[in-house]
Amino acid sequence: MALNSNQVKSLQAGTHADADGLYLIVRDTGDRAWAFRFTDPKGKRAQMEFAKVGDRDSPDKLTLTLSTARETARDFKVALKRHGIDPRFKKQAAAKGTMTFKDYAEQKYPGWCVGKSADEEKQWVRSIRDVPSLHALRPHEIDVSHILDALKPIWWEKPITADRTRQRIEKLLDAAKVEKLRTGDNPATWRGNLKFVLPAARKLNKKKAHPSVPYAKAPALMMALRYDTGMVARCVEIGILTVARSQEIRLMEWTEIDFAKKTWLCPAEKMKIKGDDEPKDHLVPLSDQAIAIIRSLPNAGRYVFPSDHADDHAPFLPNALTNCIKRAGFKGTMHGMRSTFRNWGGDDEAHNFRREVLEHCLAHREGSETEASYWTGEMRERRRIVLQAWADYVMPIKAPKSKKPSLTLVA
């Protein structure tokens, strides 16, 4: 039964229930406090004392009357049920001040951009600028409706950019949760959340296919790249030989190369997987030609292919690789060269390569997880055969004149 104002003043020591999770705590000393009992987002029972009992409300809410305590308990209950906000956390967040989403973003992302290209920080600035409706909100206040209001104006106009903005918001809110500035589910996540109310960004993106070089001209492109002494040309060569994506090859690190096993382990965070699949590490077999090129490079820092134009040890910008192909006299992009490889490998008259092997070379997810598990060891060796055959086609090795074994690339 709900309490009345007389009972609040006269009840003896103990815990007395009111309604909506509100309890009156009366101590042996006679002190009286309001408490809220609830089940937290992790399913555990909890209790939080949030104010003392008073005849009148204080401006700073240190003491509350029965009616105001009930309103506060109802607010706690609604926030918990609708948004998963733990009232204990909400109290902590209020104590931390009034840092807005914009303030928090500007505090966090500069640190995340350290060691990356100069464009990374500029992209963060643009992403935060594109969601002005979130700027004045505090991290714990942001829910799915706020995210949708922020993204919808740009989702159809520039879907790929908008999805990158969504990913950055998700990262910020994850960090805020770690730092106890919010709780509950992340409203900016895609899987099991925004996926059901927004169309996939890549389905909305109507860009033309990346221009590719006919595979019959690929050897000529590789020969032209031999005459370019810049580091970017070596990066393009390895990108073509491994059929990797631009981001993956530009960010290749020395620690990812195993010369003994002739492999390159591209970590999951650099991979790009379509759809809802989670990215995974991708082990790339390296051809003899690829090993020879990488061994010829100076190991002077983190990245295998540091930019020729950066003051510090930084990777190339995305357009650098495509511009290198253009300077060689060919119309194509790094992504287009993946299509060149696929067309070469799919020529039934010249090869007998299975479609699944070619797709795995391109790091495309094929079949079910169970099916993929059977392919792991065997697929690696099959991919090595295909990639070596591709390397022999685009960059044949000149037979040595002497008896001593050596590797000389055709120039």
Q: Would you list the domain boundaries of the chain?
A: 5-93, 101-204, 215-409
310 CB neighbour count, 10 Å cutoff: 14
Locate the DSSP E strands across 199-306. Answer: 257-258, 263-266, 282-285
pLDDT tens per residue across span 186-241: 999 999 999 999 998 878 876 555 778 888 999 999 999 999 999 999 999 999 99
Closest CA to 90 of 77, 103, 102: 77
pLDDT of residue 211: 78
Do the Cβ atoms of 232 and 327 come closer than 8 Å?
no
Do the Cβ atoms of 8 and 24 come closer than 8 Å?
yes
Alpha carbon 174 to its chain's center? 11
pLDDT of residue 371: 45
Closest CA to 296 of 408, 410, 399, 411: 408
C-alpha span between 16 and 21 (Å, rounded): 11
Q: Rounded to whole angstroms, what are the CA distances from 225 to 291, 329, 411?
A: 17, 10, 9
Question: The domain 215-409 belongs to what CATH superfamily?
Answer: Intergrase catalytic core (1.10.443.10)
Place of tokens 């999805």: 163
Do the Cβ atoms of 266 and 281 come closer than 8 Å?
yes
Q: Is 101-204's fold the same as 215-409's?
A: no
Find the distance separating the first CA and the last CA of the chain, reported in whole Å: 91
Spatial strand order of the sheet with 263-266 comes to 257-258, 263-266, 282-285
Closest CA to 304 of 238, 221, 214, 358: 238
pLDDT of residue 126: 92
C-alpha span between 246 and 243 (Å, rounded): 9
Amino acid at 291: I
> Residue 59: helix, strand or coil by DSSP?
coil
pLDDT of residue 366: 56
HSE-up of residue 225 (Cα within 13 Å, Cβ side):
28
Do the Cβ atoms of 180 and 95 come closer than 8 Å?
no
pLDDT of residue 273: 53
Do the Cβ atoms of 35 and 48 come closer than 8 Å?
yes
Q: Kindly state the tokens that stand for 146.
A: 């706020």
Place of tokens 């406090």: 33
pLDDT of residue 287: 93
Closest CA to 264 of 235, 240, 244, 236: 244
Domain 101-204 is found in CATH 3.10.129.10? no
pLDDT of residue 404: 46
Do the Cβ atoms of 165 and 131 come closer than 8 Å?
yes
Strand 22-26 and strand 282-285: the pairing is unpaired
| 178-183 contact pairs (CB < 8 A, 24+) | 180/89, 180/92, 180/93, 180/96, 181/93, 181/96, 181/99, 181/104, 181/138, 181/139, 181/140, 182/85, 182/89, 182/93, 182/139, 182/140, 182/142, 183/41, 183/84, 183/85, 183/86, 183/89, 183/140
Do the Cβ atoms of 172 and 101 come closer than 8 Å?
yes
Q: Kindly state the tokens that stand for 305.
A: 């292919």
Sites in the chain below the pLDDT cut of 70: 83, 90-98, 206-209, 272-279, 348, 350, 365-378, 399-411
For domain 5-93, which architecture applies?
2-Layer Sandwich (3.30)
